[in-house]
Amino acid sequence: MAIPSRRQRRPSIDIWPGFVDALSQLVMVIVFVLLVFTAGQFYLSDALTGRDAEVHDLRLKIQQLSDMLALDENANADLRKTVAQLSSQLQSVNAERDALTDRVAELSNRADDATAATRDSSADLQARLGAAQQQVAERDAKLATAQTTIDQLNQQLLALRQQLQQIAAALDASETKSKDQQVQIAELGKRLNAALASKVEELARYRSEFFGRLREVLGDRPDIRIVGDRFVFQSEVLFPLGSASLSDDAKQRLLPVAQALKEISAKIPPEINWVLRVDGHTDKRPINTPQFPSNWELSTARAISVVRFFIDQGIPANRLVAAGFGEFQPLDTGNDEGAFRRNRRIELKLTER
């Protein structure tokens, strides 16, 4: 009873304004970080969306040009077939013209021998020769027209190839831009990971200091153990069997922990989002009472009781977490009373939220 009497003699200190200021600064920092993250996310999403739209439009244009090229190639093939046919016809006409020329020569020779007798026949042959020459001229004109059409198609094909080269160059530029954006995103991710790693290391340093302070305060006590990065209190030290109410002796045992946590929390920068997690555990023997239908309820209620005690000691509620694990995280898988006692425990872990 000496400790409460000394507290009564201490002057009352109002820590509420400082707590409100610290909480306000923490909220402002969190809001600023969220705004920066949202703006960055919006900018990256807008850039990626615009790039995808450009790539999609370019692919549509390439598809349309490919279809036009296929149509032009089909038309070119048809024209080539037509030219081949005209060439074949021209060869036939040339053969006919040569035959007619030979025949004219032959008739001319015969006309020299019998000019008077063959005047009518010569006139008829001249008419036929004129008609044949006219046909040859018409076919030559058709061949020239076909050659002109072929030249025009070749020019159109060349223009299409140039357009395809321009589209390919634009597509390459778009892919290069996309790769640059991916590199920027990767660089931002590296910076974010480095910042998170720095915060984790800093929190680990304060966690080590917190545990070191607890070791100094608690000393070598058999009812308090260190398992990894957690302090473990046996449930029998804090709670009666089957109960979740802290005894006065348990509060005295937890008081140095609360004081050490308050000292360390004052040193932790506000930008580190830390919490003290209080985990409740039971043994695997089932419980079924009106207050605790299962071990889940019992383990959770015990963790909440410890958290409420810390809040009463001035630790901010937003820095505390209560969790109940029931019997599903045992330290000892045995079935004897010693294993059951080791599994009934309260664990304290300083971690990030």
Q: What is the pLDDT of residues 299-314, one digit of tens each?
A: 999 999 999 999 999 9
- The confidence band for 320, taking pLDDT boundaries of 50, 70 and 90, is very high
Distance between alpha carbon 170 and the CA centroid of its chain, in Å?
25
Under the banding of pLDDT at 50, 70 and 90, the label for residue 54 is confident
Tokens representing residue 106 in the block: 């032959």
Burial 231-247, CB ≥16 within 10 A → b, else e:
bbbbbebbbeeebbebe
Q: Residue type at 160?
A: L
Measured from the Cβ of residue 299, the count of other Cβ atoms closer than 10 Å reads 29
Strand order in the sheet with 320-324: 224-227, 230-234, 345-352, 274-281, 320-324
Q: What is the pLDDT of residues 3-27, one digit of tens each?
A: 455 545 555 666 778 778 888 888 8
Q: Are strands 345-352 and 230-234 parallel, antiparallel or unpaired?
A: antiparallel
Higher local confidence (pLDDT), 242 or 324: 324
**pLDDT of amino acid 93:** 76
- Predicted local distance difference test score (pLDDT) of residue 278: 95
CA 31 to chain CA centroid, nearest Å: 24
**Burial category of 69 from C-beta neighbours within 10 Å (exposed 0-12, middle 13-18, buried 19 and up):** middle
Q: Alpha-carbon distance 305 to 324, whole Å?
A: 12
- Range with the poorest average pLDDT among 223-227, 231-235, 257-261: 223-227
Q: Which has the higher per-residue pLDDT, 293 or 96?
A: 293
User: Looking at per-residue confidence, does 98 or 181 come out higher?
Assistant: 98
Given pLDDT bands bounded at 50, 70 and 90, which one contains residue 2? very low
pLDDT, residue 343, reads 93
Instruction: Give how far Cα 118 sits from Cα of 104, 115, 185, 226, 258, Å.
Output: 13, 5, 100, 137, 141
> What's the gap between Cα 328 and its chain centre?
36
Per-residue model confidence (pLDDT) at position 1: 40
Query: Which has more confidence, 294 or 142?
Result: 294
- pTM for the model stands at 0.44
Residues with Cβ within 8 Å of residue 218, at least 6 apart in sequence: 224, 256, 257
Identify the structural domains of the chain with CATH numbers, from first to last: 43-193 (1.10.287), 220-352 (3.30.1330.60)
Rounded distance between C-alpha atoms, residue 48 and residue 56, angstroms: 12
State percent of the chain over pLDDT 70.
80
- Name residues whose C-beta falls within 8 Å of residue 346's C-beta, 6 or more positions apart in sequence: 232, 233, 235, 238, 278, 279, 280, 281, 302, 303, 306
Task: Specify the pLDDT at position 214.
Answer: 57
**pLDDT of 194 above 50:** no
Identify the pLDDT of residue 176: 76
Query: What tokens does 49 get?
Result: 């969306």
Instruction: Specify the higher pLDDT residue, 285 or 61.
Output: 285
Contact 76, 153 (CB under 8 A): yes
**What is the average per-residue pLDDT within 180-201?**
57
The C-alpha atoms of residue 331 and residue 194 are separated, in whole angstroms, by 34
- The string of pLDDT tens digits covering residues 133-173 is 888 788 778 878 878 887 887 788 788 788 878 887 888 77
Inform me whether the pLDDT recorded for 322 exceeds 60: yes
pLDDT tens string 232-244: 888 888 998 889 9
